[in-house]
Amino acid sequence: PPPPPPPFSSRRRHTRWCVRSRGLGDVYKRQILVGEEQGNVPVTVLRVEGDIDASTHKTLESKASEVIEAGASNILLDLSDVHYMGSAGFRAIHAINNMLEHKETAATAKSEHLKLLNPTEEVSRVIHTLGFDVFLDIYDSREEALNAF
């Protein structure tokens, strides 16, 4: 993977949950945005920004674990701002799925508790190549994804 960006890079499209500057002295850390929405059941939406690779996958797993421990049982993973996902990212998605799975649903082919939203073309191609679309539903429509739980 490429070296990490300098601490105060001002315009990087593919960030890695890094510190960035939006102006003099206005520094923030990129993070996973968490929201709660209502479909047929309550759904926690994790909107990921930036690449998911060996240096960032633990952030995703930790945030998912945090919301699951707080009571989330259905997660919609919004990948619309993820332009690269390495094997560590796919391991993170698998780990999140395992955290959410219940014994009574283990025999089903598709996950009932984790769904993907709007993966970019690059990420979508890898999802299909690796066969993740066999056990995870992927949606282009937020409303459709929310109502699929």
pLDDT tens digit string along 85-142? 999 999 999 999 999 976 455 555 688 899 999 999 999 999 999 988 998 999 999 9
CA neighbor of 47 nearest in space, from 73, 75, 69, 20: 75
Q: What is the pTM of this model?
A: 0.74
For residue 35, pLDDT beyond 60 = yes
In contact, 92 and 61? CB cutoff 8 Å: yes
In tens, the pLDDT along 37-94 reads 998 999 999 999 989 989 889 999 999 999 999 999 999 999 999 989 999 999 999 9
Q: What are phi and psi of 130, to 5 degrees?
A: -80, -10
